[in-house]
Structure formats: structure tokens, C-alpha cells
Structure 1
Amino acid sequence: MATRVLAIFPDLDIAGIEQFRGRWDPLAAAVPAHITIAFPFAWPGTARSARRRAAAGARRVRAIPG
């Protein structure tokens, strides 16, 4: 069984976030700003099936008001 990680890499203006990460996050240069959904977890299926399951769950969640 494979270990998976689900993360979202938003397509937003994240200059301020990257500046903060550059100061405090030692992995900022290696990994772009993202939102970790699940880390790590065992998944018996393929990466594609994990993405499909996560997408189905995300469709049931309301957007965060902004």
C-alpha cells in the first residue's frame, strides 16, 4: 500500500505568503506555497483514484467566504 500526500497549489497572488515562508520555512525554496489536505496517509489505490476521491469530497464543502 502506497503512502500518499494530498496538497493544493493555489493559483493566487501569493507574494506576501512566499515572503513570510522565505523567512520562516526552511523548505520554502524547495516546495511552492500550498495547502496540505492530508499528510501522509496509506492509500490502497492509485494516485488517480485518490485524486478522484478527494475531488468528490471537496465538491461537498462550501467555499470559505472571502
Structure 2
Amino acid sequence: MKVRDLVRRLQEFPDQDATVVIGEGEKPEVWLIVDGAVERGIRVREDTLDWVGPGTEPAVEIV
């Protein structure tokens, strides 16, 4: 997902005062509260698109 796609989805959300959370991933019904966003440089592994590490591709980490 690109930043513009995330922003568009968030702008369309009906309750603009809702808290932003991210699913923990391993455990259902466990979420992390989003507190901000940080610019990062990443490298995406070609064999698995859900893993990244340090690199030079621009990204935003939601924290």
C-alpha cells in the first residue's frame, strides 16, 4: 500500500475521531494503538512481500 492509498482510505472513513489501531498479527482481538508515523528506508524481500528490512526504498512506519 502506498501513502496516498492509506490517506484516501482514512479520509473516506465516516468517523474522523476514531482511534487508529493495527492488528497484532498473531493473536485475534489484540491491537496496537497507533501513535505516529516515522520515515524509514526499507528493502522488500522478493520471495515474501510481507517481510522488509533496512534499505533505501522510502517507506512510512506506523508506530
Q: TM-score, normalised by structure 1?
A: 0.24
Q: Radius of gyration: which is bigger? A: 1
Greater RCO, CA 8 A, separation 6+: 1
Structure with greater proportional strand content: 2
Structure with greater proportional helix content: 1
